[in-house]
Chain A
Amino acid sequence: MFKLAILWLAILLLVSFWLTVRDTSELVTIVVMPQAPREGEPIIVTFKLNNPSSHSRLTEYQFYANGKLVKEGTTTIASNSVKAYKYAYENHLRMGEQLNFVVKSHSEWGDYEKAVSTPPYPPQVWSSFVSFASFSTSVMSSMSTMTYYQSTFGSDMGLNVGIIASIVLIALLIFLELSQPVVEGRTIVRLVRLRIRFSTVTWILFIIFMGLVYTKVVVILSG
C-alpha cells in the first residue's frame, strides 16, 4: 500500500512535468519575471513565438500590457525554432493589484492568443500558513526560477551546492558499496542501521543529481 501510494505521488509529479512540457509546445508562450514582483520592481516579460513545423513561417504579433499595445511586428521564424522577445515593464503594481499581459499572433496556422497575469497566484499562497520552508514568499518568488537554481547549484563563485551534493552522493555510494560485503552474513546492527538511513539520503541526493544533470542538458541543448 505504501509503495503504491508513493508510486502514485511520483506519477503525479511526472504528470505535472508532462503538463508543463505540453504547455510549452504551444505557438506562443509568455514568462513573467519575477513571478511575484515587489512594489516598484521592474517586470521582465519574455514572450516566445514557436514554430514547431518543418518549414519557416511568417508571423505577425502584438504584445499588450494591461490592454495597451506596447509592441508589434512581423517576423519569419525558421522551422522547429523559437523567437524570443523581451520587454521590461515599469512596475507600479500595488498590493492587491494584478497585471495582465497578452500576446496575439497571426500566421498561416491562424490566430493565436496567450495571456498571463502577475502575480499568477498571490505570493501568500506559497508562504503563510499554506506552506513552509523554501516555499515561503520571501524566497519562493525566486525559488521557482532558473536564476535561483543556477546561482545556487551551478555557481562559479561562492558556495556551489550542486558540487557539495554530488560529492556527498559519491561518498555515500562508496560507503554503501564498501559496507555491503561487511554486513553480508553478519549482524552488525549499527552498520546495518546506518546503511538503511543513509540509503534514504542517497536516494534524495540521486534525485537532486538527476535534476542537475537534466538542467545542464537542457541548458546545453538550448544553447
Chain B
Amino acid sequence: MADTVGAILLTGITLYAVLGGADFGAGLWDLLAGGEQRGRPVRQLIDEAITPVWEANHVWLIFDLVVFWTAFPRAFAAVMTTVALPLWLALAGIVLRGSGFAFRDQIEQPMFKRAAGTAFALSSLVTPFFMGTVVGAVATGHIRADGARANVEAWSNPTAVLAGSLFVVACAYLAAVYLTRQAERRNDRRLRRYFALRARSAGVGAAALSVSLLAALHGSNHALYARLTGRALPLVIVAALCGLVTFTAISVAPARRLRDIAAIGVAAVIWGWGVAQYPHLLPATSVTLSNAGAPHDTLAALLVVFAAALVLVVPSGVLLFSLQERQVLQVRGTLWHPDGSEPGTSPRSVPADGPHPDTVLSSGAVARWRRRRST
C-alpha cells in the first residue's frame, strides 16, 4: 500500500515536472528573449502557450505536497525543517512568478509592465533551482530522519547545486521543445527554428549536467549511484535515447511527437531516481516508504482521493489541453490586448456575418490570425 502511494507521489512529481516545469522554462526563455522590440514575438508565443494552463499545472505542486505530508508525515516534517531556506526561496519565486505573470497581462504602463515581466522571468530561474537543491539534499542523504535543525550543507553541497542547475536546464529544455510545437502550430517558421535551436542547446546542457550529477553522486551517495547504473539503468537509457531522438529530429520531425518524447525523457530521469532510491524515502537513513507511512486507513483514503482525481481531473485536463491545441482558447483575443482594446462583450452579440471579434485586435494580430485560418 505504501509503495502504491509512493508511486502516486512520484507520478505527481513527474506531472509537475513535465507540465509545471515547462512553464518555468518558458519564463527562462522569456528572460533570455532580448530587448523589448526583438523579444516581442517570442514573448507573445510564450504568453499564448502558458497563460491558459499554468495554474492547472501548478496545482500538481499542491497535490504533491499534500500527498507527501499525508502519506509520509515524519519524513515531510524532517525535509521541511532541514532545508527550510531553499524552500522559502523557491516559494518566494512561486509568488513572484504567478503574480508577475498575471499582472503583466493587465498593466499598461511600460515601466510597471516590464517590472512585472522581470519578476516573472527571474523567479522562473529561482524556483526550479532551489527545488532542485532540495531534491539534491534528499538524494544525497542529507536529511536526517529526525531532522530538527536547519542544515545549509544539505542543499549547498556540489551534488545538490548540480541538481538545482539540472532542474533549471531541464525546464528550459522542455519549454523549448513545447514552444517549438507551439510555433509549428502557428506555422511560424522563424520561431520554430528559434526554439528548435534552443531545445538542442538546452538538451546538450541537460545531458552534460546529468552526466556530471551522476559523477558527483559517485562520491556523495555511492549506493544511489550504484543503483542508478544498476537496476535503474534501463530508465537511464530510455532518458538518454529520448534526449538523443529529440536532439537529432527536432528540426525535421513533427514537433508534436517530439514534445511527448522529450517529456518521456524527463519522466524517465525522475523514475530512475525513484527506482534507485526505492524502498528508501530518505536515503542514508532507515526511513523507507513502508515505515514512514501513515496508518493503513490514511493510505487507503489517499488511493480513493487519487482515483477520484483521475476520474474528475484527467478528463477536464484533457479538455483544457485539447481546447488549447485547437486554439479555442483565445489568450490574445480576450484578455490581453496590445492596444488595450476590449472585444465584444457578448459571445452572442457577434453576428454571423458581422465583424469578427478578432478585428478589434491590432492589424498585426489580424494578419497572423488570417494566416492561421488560411492554412
Q: Do A and B truly interact? A: no
User: CB within 8 Å of B: which residues of A?
Assistant: none
